[in-house]
Amino acid sequence: MTEQQRFELKCINTIRTLSMDAVQAANSGHPGTAMAMAPVVYTVWNRFMRFDPEDPIWANRDRFVLSIGHASMLLYSILHLTGVKAVDSKYERLGELSVKLDDIKRFRQLDSKCAGHPEYRWTSGVETTTGPLGQGVATSVGMAIGGAWMASTFNRPGFEMFNYNIYALCGDGCMMEGVSGEAASLAGHLRLSNLCWIYDNNRITIEGHTNWAFSEDVATRFIGYGWNVLRVGDANDLEMLERALKTFRNTKDRPTLVIVDSHIAYGAPNKQDTSAAHGEPLGEQEIRLTKRNYGWPEDAKFLVPEGVYEHFRQNIGERGKSLRTAWEAQFAEYRKQYPALADSIERMQRREMPDGWEKELPSFPADPKGLAGRDSSSKVLNAAAKNLPWLIGGSADLTPSCKTRLAFDGAGDFTPENHGGRNLHFGIREHAMGSILNGLSLTKIRPFGSGFLIFSDYSRSTFRLSAIMEIPVITIFTHDSIGVGEDGPTHQPIEHLASLRAIPGLIVLRPGDANEVAEAWRVILKLRHEPAVLVLSRQAMPTLDRSKYAPASGLARGAYVLGDAPGGRPDVILIGTGSEVSFCVQAYEKLKAEGVAARVVSMPSWELFEHQSPEYRESVLPSGVTARVSVEQASTFGWERYIGTSGAAIGMRTFGASAPLQELQKKFGFTLEHVLAAARQQLARKA
C-alpha cells in the first residue's frame, strides 16, 4: 500500500469512526451501512462530485442523494469533512459550517443538524429528505429529468450552463420497494444518462439475510429497464469504483446502476449478529475492537486526524470552487447574450415568478350550466404556463381525463428524443410520479402532476415528504367525488379529502366554480414553501354571477361569505365546497325567499382559512350562530370543527355505489330538498 493509499484509508476510516461514535453517543441509529459504504462515498465526493462546499446551492452542482437515509451519518460525516457551508432560506450563505463536529456529537438530539434521517432545508448539503426506503432514488429520477430539461432549455452553443449529474446511494430495501421499480423503469425509458444509482449489495436487512425475502437478479432487471449495469466486487476497491464511475460519466444514452458488493463492515472479526448491528449501536467494546482493527486510537472519540480536513479541501474543495467560479464567469457572459434566459434561471433559483405571469389568466361569465372544474382548470393552467416557462408537468396516464395537457405552441412532449418538452408522461406510475415531482421541485422547476383523486392513495407518502421539505409541488386531482357515477366505489373518493387535509403544511383546495378555479391557481402559483393539491370535479358546476355574489378572490382566504343575511346577521349558515357550493347557493336563495336569515359560505380550503386571523374567521363563521349545515360529497370526518357538535353534516358515511350521478345524489342526500330540510332542522333546534 502506498503512502497515498494509506492516507486515503485514514480519511475513509475517519468517516467510519465518526459514524460509529455518533451512533453510540446517541445510543440510536444504524452504523453498519455507514461503515461499509464509507469508501464509496469518499470516492464519489473526493474524486467525482462537481460540488463547491462554499456554495452548496450552486445551480450546476452535482447532486448526491442518500436514499438509504438510515445511514445518515455517512452524509453528515462527509458534509462536515468537506466543510459544506450553511445556507438560509433566503439563499444568503451564513458562512458557518452546515454540520459542525458538535452536531455530530449530538446526532439524533433535539436541534442538532444531524437528525435521525437527512432533512432538506434543515441541513445544507442534504438534497432531499430521505428515510422511507425507495423515495430517495425515485426522487433522484425527478432531479435527473429536471437536469435534462434545464440543459435542453437553457444551454446554447458555447454555453453549457447545465450538465450536472445525480448520484444516489441505495440498498436492498430501496430495491424491494415498488416505487424504485416504477421510477427506474421511467428513467430507463427516458434515457436519463445524468443519473447514477449506486446499489449497496450487502444482502442484509433489519430482519436478517435477504435470502428470506429477496432473491431476484437485480442486474438483469435493470438491463431490462434499459440501464447500463456495472459491478464492483468489493466496496473497498477504490480504483474499481473509480473505473465504474468514469464509465457512468462516459455513458450518454442511458442511466447507470453500479452494483457494489459489500458486507456490513466492522473490522472486528468476531462480530456475528450483522442484522442487529445494522440497526443498533455497536457497543463500547465492539467499537474498541473495530478501532484497533483500523489502527485507530481505541479511546479516541470523534477524532479527525491531522491532514484529513486539508485533504478534502484540496480535492473536492478546490475542484468545486474552480468549477463554480468558471461557471459564474460563463454565466455573466451568458446573461449578456441571453438576458431573458438568464433572468429565468435566476428567478427559478429564488422561486420567484416572472413578470406578467398573471396577465392572461381568464375570468368566466356567469353561466347556470357552467363548466367542469377540470375544464376551467385546463384553460387557466394553459394561460399561466404560457407566461411561466418553467411550469411543466403531466399525469399518470390520465391527461385526456384530467385535462392537464399544455396545448399551446412550443410546449411539446418530454420524450427520450426531446428532453425540452413541457408535457411529461409518467405512465401508470402514481407513486413514482409523486416522488419525481418532488425531485423536479428540488431542481427549482415548478412541477405539476395529475390523476384521479381516488389514486391519491398511491402518492400519499410523497405529499407528506413535499410538506416536510416545504417545496411547492402542485398536484391536480379530478373525478373528486361520487360524481364519478357508474365507475362505482372503487373509483369514488370518500375519505381522501380528509386524509389530505390531515397532512401538516399541505394546502388542499376544492373550488366551487370556474372563477374559484382561476383564483385557486392564482394562489397556488404564488406559493413558495407549501405543496398544494387542487381537487376538481368531472361534472359541470354552475358559474356563479359575481355581480350578485361575493367575488371569487375570497378563495385566497380559504373561506368567505358568498351570500349573506340582511345586516350580516344570519340565523343559519350553509357551508359548501366544490360542486356542492351550488346546492348551498340554491338553498340559500330558497330560504331567503321564505324570509329566513341565511348565510352561504364557500370553503374551498380549510388550511388557508386556518391561516387567517381569529377576527376574520369569526366574521365568516360567527360563534354565536350554531345552526350550521356543511355539504360535501366526501367523508364528514372533520367537519365538526366548523359546524360544531350540533351542526348537520351532509356527506358520505359509507362507500359509494355504481349508478348514474343523479341517482347517487338522491340516494346519499345531495339534493336541494335535503339541504333545505337540514337547515330547517337546525333552525327548529335553535328555536
For 452-480, write each residue's pLDDT tens digit: 999 999 999 999 999 999 999 999 999 99
DSSP state of 423: E
* Residue 211 predicted with pLDDT over 90: no
- Measured CA to CA, the distance from residue 205 to residue 274 in angstroms comes to 9
CB within 8 Å of 661: residues ≥ 6 apart: 482, 483, 485, 539
Q: Give the Cα separation of 24 and 20 in Å (integer).
A: 6
Q: Do domains 367-541 and 559-686 have the same CATH topology?
A: yes
pTM beyond 0.85: the answer is yes
Residue 210: which residues within 8 A CB-CB, separation 6 or more? 172, 203, 204
The pLDDT assigned to 274 comes to 40
- Residue 133's pLDDT is what? 94
Q: What's the pLDDT at 346?
A: 97
Q: Give the mean model confidence (pLDDT) for residues 5-15.
A: 95
Cβ–Cβ < 8 Å for 101, 304:
yes
- For residue 264, the model assigns a pLDDT of 64
Angle at which helices 135-154 and 339-349 cross, to 10°:
160
Sheet holding 648-652, edge to edge: 560-563, 598-602, 572-576, 628-635, 648-652
Q: Could you say which architecture CATH assigns to the domain 559-686? A: 3-Layer(aba) Sandwich (3.40)
| pLDDT at residue 270, as a whole number | 38
Q: Give residues with Cβ within 8 angstroms of 477, minimum separation 6.
A: 450, 451, 452, 453, 456, 533, 534, 535, 536
Cα–Cα separations (whole angstroms), residue 154 to 71, 149, 157, 633? 36, 8, 10, 45
Domain residue extents for the chain: 3-160+263-323, 367-541, 559-686
Cα 211 to Cα 29, 116, 205, distances in angstroms: 24, 28, 10
Instruction: Tell me the three cell numbers of residue 604.
Output: 374551498
Contact of 139 with 439, CB cutoff 8 Å: yes
Q: Which of 86-100, 603-617, 666-680 comes out lowest in average pLDDT?
A: 86-100
Q: Select from 659, 682, 136 the least CA-distant residue to 436.
A: 136
Alpha-carbon gap, residue 23 to 39, rounded angstroms: 19
* The pLDDT value given to residue 262: 87
Cα dihedral value 329, 333, 338, 342, nearest 10: 20
Q: Kindly tell me the number of DSSP H helices and DSSP E strands found in the chain.
A: 27, 20
Please name which of 222, 242, 239, 233 lies closest in space to residue 260, comparing C-alpha atoms: 233
Distance of CA 18 to the CA centre of its chain: 30
Fold classification of 367-541 is: Rossmann fold (3.40.50)
563-614 pLDDT, tens digit per residue, is: 999 999 999 999 999 999 999 999 999 999 999 999 999 999 999 999 999 9
**Does 3-160+263-323 carry CATH code 3.40.50.970?**
yes
Q: How far apart (Å, rounded) are the C-alpha atoms in residues 273 and 99? A: 31
The tens digit of pLDDT for each residue in 230-279 reads 999 999 999 999 999 999 999 999 999 999 998 764 433 334 434 334 56
pLDDT of residue 31: 86
Q: What is the mean pLDDT of the chain?
A: 94
Pairing, β 474-478 against β 532-535: parallel
Instruction: Please list the active-site residues.
Output: 430
Burial of 539 (0-12, 13-18, 19+ CB in 10 A): middle
Residue 264: all three cell numbers together: 456490513
**Residue 485 pLDDT level (bands cut at 50, 70, 90):** confident
Are 520 and 534 in contact by the 8 Å Cβ rule? The answer is yes
Q: Per this entry, what is the length of the chain?
A: 687
